[in-house]
Amino acid sequence: MHDVYTIKEKILSRNAELADENRRILKERGIFTVNIISSPGAGKTSIIEKTLESLTDRCRVAVIEGDLQTEIDSTRLKRYGIPVRQITTGRTCHLDAHMVHHTLPWLMEQGDIELLIIENVGNMVCPAEYDLGEDMKVVVMSVPEGDDKPLKYPSIFHASDILIINKIDLVGYTNFNIDRARENALRINPGLEVFETSCTQGKGIKRWCELLLSRIPARR
Amino acid sequence: MHDVYTIKEKILSRNAELADENRRILKERGIFTVNIISSPGAGKTSIIEKTLESLTDRCRVAVIEGDLQTEIDSTRLKRYGIPVRQITTGRTCHLDAHMVHHTLPWLMEQGDIELLIIENVGNMVCPAEYDLGEDMKVVVMSVPEGDDKPLKYPSIFHASDILIINKIDLVGYTNFNIDRARENALRINPGLEVFETSCTQGKGIKRWCELLLSRIPARR
């Protein structure tokens, strides 16, 4: 049997090549691409819903939705009248560049998309290792998960450009300390830009949407 | 390059063999073993803390603590004066039978342990596939994660014997519906025994501890 780690290196190196190809294709089309990663239930889909509420009148958005099973999330997002493509991964605990590559012909048929949001499978570990060809990696942590998560799952905080601390409406009902959470995250990755959001109260969404708009190439 | 899926089948089949050996060794010593699995921050460590508060006077417990990084959780648990062994997995997103096998000599030195609690790495996906040699698999889902999680991450609900719905004190602050959560979980696995707990309020812990005590071979 081949050494497992050698196999994994090969998989990751092929993934990186294909991710670079995805990135080149998306860039040529002027599409800004975001890869959103979190634990199950941290609120990725809710954040995307709020983002669509705010942005669908202002730019052309498409979503790729990664899940092990079910189309629950893509059904939620299709209500916003934008193109949504579901990838169900079965037993695979993350999206990879190959899966995303297969959606590109579909994406090219959706007119002049400016912003592509990819919602990864709910998992704090493996998605950190698989570049999809995105311009920006976003990690979402939610208040009920606890402020020690950056220390315990450092790889995804290390790999990300943006941290969204979500469900801040629940701070009063938990022992979560926002300052400590920020501090723990910035200890792992001092370059992280941090947003605090509550989807139920609509807090923090505006600033996050302005950031997205400012990164779309045609609008710079 | 070998086919990735063939390699994975081989890994899982070797894991299953070693898990059976772990199970045989633990059984011979009269140790009842529980493998606790959840997303990051669903409250595995808090549930174990409450369990230790209730059980350390009543039976001899040891804990194996799985984390990518840090000894934060094992430090929390050592305060209860019981044997705790940390496994830091680095980039590996689950415990496997081999890692647990290496802790058995340590475990055998801890006197007559009756209950071994293994806290897996926070991940709803991969731990479902790796038998560690436990007698009982426990999946924890927490209220803020949402009541659709059994449908979206079915493999772990399918593989488990027990479901703990934790953080029920937060039900009033979310759109989580306990009946719907139970229904979704039982749709995936009708054999699941369901517990509802709140570690901050101490709810549901007694029933859970009674279940554990009733399963210890010497006490049956």
pLDDT at B220: 77
Q: What is the CATH number of the domain that holds A22?
A: 3.40.50.300
Residues of chain B contacting residue A42, judged by C-beta atoms under 8 Å apart = 145
- pLDDT of residue B153 exceeding 50, the answer is yes
Residue in chain B nearest A43 by alpha carbon = B145
Phi-psi region of A37 (alpha: psi -120 to 50; beta: other; left: phi over 0): beta
Q: What pTM, to 2 d.p., does this model score?
A: 0.93
Residues of chain A contacting residue B125, judged by C-beta atoms under 8 Å apart = 68, 91, 93, 121, 123, 126
Question: What average pLDDT does range B32-57 have in this prediction?
Answer: 97
CA distance B106 to A28: 57
* Contact between chains at B93 and A91 (C-beta distance less than 8 A): no
Of B141, B144, B151, the CB nearest to A167: B144
Q: At B137, list the tokens.
A: 């698999």
Binning pLDDT at 50, 70 and 90, where does residue B2 land?
low
Of B40, B173, B174, the CB nearest to A153: B40
Of B7, B146, B155, the CB nearest to A41: B146
Looking up tokens 């073993």, which residue turns up? B33
Q: What's the total number of domains in chain B?
A: 1
CA distance B132 to B48: 18
Size of interface A-B (CB pairs under 8 A): 129
Q: Is A218 near chain B, with CB under 8 Å?
A: no
CA distance A199 to A205: 8
Which B residues, 171 through 210, put their C-beta within 8 Å of a C-beta on chain A? 173-174
Residues of chain A contacting residue B121, judged by C-beta atoms under 8 Å apart = 125
Binning pLDDT at 50, 70 and 90, where does residue A8 land?
confident
Question: What average pLDDT does range B125-146 have in this prediction?
Answer: 97
Look over chain B and give the mean of its residue pLDDT values, rounded to a whole number. 95
Question: What average pLDDT does range B80-105 have in this prediction?
Answer: 96
pLDDT at B63: 98
Residue in chain B nearest A145 by alpha carbon = B41
- Angstroms from B30 CA to nearest CA on chain A: 33
pLDDT digits (tens, 9 = 90+) for A88-120: 999 899 999 999 999 999 999 999 999 999 999
- Angstroms from A94 CA to nearest CA on chain B: 9
CA distance A118 to A137: 10
CA distance B208 to B139: 13
pLDDT at A1: 46
Question: CA-CA-CA-CA torsion for B59, B62, B67, B70, nearest 10 degrees?
Answer: 110
- pLDDT of residue B78 exceeding 70, the answer is yes
* Contact between chains at B7 and A11 (C-beta distance less than 8 A): no
**Three-state secondary-structure class, residue A61:** strand
pLDDT at B198: 98
Binning pLDDT at 50, 70 and 90, where does residue A197 land?
very high
pLDDT digits (tens, 9 = 90+) for B168-189: 999 999 999 999 999 999 999 9
Cα B74 off chain centre by:
15
Percentage with pLDDT > 90 across chain A: 92
Give me the domain span that covers residue A142. Answer: 4-219
- Tell me the C-alpha to C-alpha distance, in Å, between residue A145 and each of A1, A44, A165, B40: 39, 14, 10, 7
Of B7, B91, B152, the CB nearest to A155: B91
How many other C-beta atoms are found inside a 10 Å radius of the C-beta of residue B102?
Answer: 11
Phi-psi region of B70 (alpha: psi -120 to 50; beta: other; left: phi over 0): left
- Angstroms from A67 CA to nearest CA on chain B: 7
CA distance B178 to B26: 35
Question: What average pLDDT does range A139-156 have in this prediction?
Answer: 97
Give the DSSP letter of residue B198.
B
Binning pLDDT at 50, 70 and 90, where does residue B218 land?
confident
Q: Is B144 near chain A, with CB under 8 Å?
A: yes
Of B70, B73, B124, the CB nearest to A40: B124
Residues of chain B contacting residue A141, judged by C-beta atoms under 8 Å apart = 41
